[in-house]
């Protein structure tokens, strides 16, 4: 059972790196919760594959730095009706 979790962590990481995806997008794609994605990427992946962890961390940090902008755009679309 342990290897399934590790395989999922690596699969999530590769998906995020390949698609520059967000945690929400990855969670939706794999059918797991955002908490599971975050736990797999921040804790498990670091122990399993350090170079892949570094790539994912860079993308997640970028997404985190932009989230206030994305939220504002979503609110604008909501009230414009587009």
pLDDT at 28: 96
Rounded average pLDDT per 10-residue block, the chain, 82 residues = 82 96 94 95 93 94 76 75 62
The pLDDT of residue 1 is 43
List the chain domain ranges.
Answer: 2-80
Q: Max CA-CA distance within the chain?
A: 48
Tokens describing residue 19: 């698609």
> For the whole model, what pTM was predicted?
0.76
**Contacts from 35-44 at CB under 8 Å and sequence distance 24+?**
37/12, 40/5, 40/8, 40/9, 40/12, 40/13, 41/9, 41/12, 41/13, 41/16, 44/5, 44/6, 44/9
């Amino acid at each position: 059972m342990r290897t399934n979790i590790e395989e999922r962590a690596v699969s999530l990481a590769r998906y995020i790196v390949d698609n520059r995806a967000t945690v929400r997008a990855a969670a939706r794609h794999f059918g797991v919760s955002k908490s599971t994605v975050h736990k797999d990427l921040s804790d498990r992946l670091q122990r399993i594959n350090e170079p892949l962890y570094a790539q994912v961390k860079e993308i997640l940090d970028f997404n985190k730095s932009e989230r206030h902008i994305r939220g504002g755009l979503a609110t604008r679309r909501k009230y414009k009706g587009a």
